Homo-oligomer: A and B are copies of this chain.
């Protein structure tokens, strides 16, 4: 099965949901027009990531409803980053809705990054959250999550074809975007779509450098800085052939691996 994936690398307007919604609507129409079946946004794209206390207020809006509506209008599935109320605090969440606007999954970031995340968010406790879209099994991670090899491994073991990663990666971490993402794809023989913010937010300078990477580690689509719509096709046959040629999952010594702090 094949699925063409679009990634919206964008600066957006931090704190301005209306502006981001408008940009998402344009991107969704453009992606659908090229034949893409899925559009992926950066982390917390609808509100902005580093927007201070404002994130608490914006999380009360019906952001999921916005995504569902845009998906329905454009006729394309969307994976969008947004803050989600969790009692007195928030989750850093991504929701996947299909082209009819139905919610297929909600993933809550499990690995919080420094004070930036911990000030507002509580972590999710589901490591692998996966849905099938047009025959392609998609697992979602958010930013820092993908830097831990355990997360992608767990998703690949559960049969993911594509790891979709909304992110907000800033300087000086270009190494992650350029090197680690390719290694994750290779070592698990999966596709990885890593979709980042561009531009600046308060104290952060984003590195851009979004990419969609094949199980071979080859970069199928990438951006430097600036707003950019990436496009690449995920093919489950490619995953199957890659896993036969490079049988990492089968060659693991699970008998020797243990939880690490004994």
Contact = CB atoms under 8 A, between A and B. Distances in A.
A259 B248 contact: no
Contacts of A252: 111, 148, 150, 260
Interface in A146-177: 147-150, 153-154, 157, 175-176
Interface string A208-219: 000000001100
B111 A154 contact: no
A125 B256 contact: yes
A180 B175 contact: no
Contacts of A184: 183
Contact of A110 (B113, B187, B253, B260): B253
Contacts of A111: 251-253
Contact of A149 (B112, B123, B153, B157): B153
Given A147-B248, A149-B153, A157-B260, A127 B179 contact: no
Interface residues on A, range: 35 or more
Interface string A104-122: 0000001111000000000
A254 interface: yes
A261 B1 CA distance: 25
A149 B256 contact: no
A206 interface: no
A186 interface: yes
28 contacts: A110-B256, A111-B252, A111-B253, A112-B251, A113-B251, A123-B253, A125-B255, A127-B253, A127-B257, A147-B187, A148-B187, A148-B248, A148-B252, A149-B150, A149-B153, A150-B257, A154-B257, A154-B260, A157-B261, A175-B186, A175-B216, A175-B217, A179-B186, A180-B183, A183-B183, A252-B260, A254-B260, A257-B259
A80 to B, nearest CB: 24
A182 interface: yes
A109 to B, nearest CB: 11
Interface centre among A176, A183, A261 (most CB of B within 10 A): A183
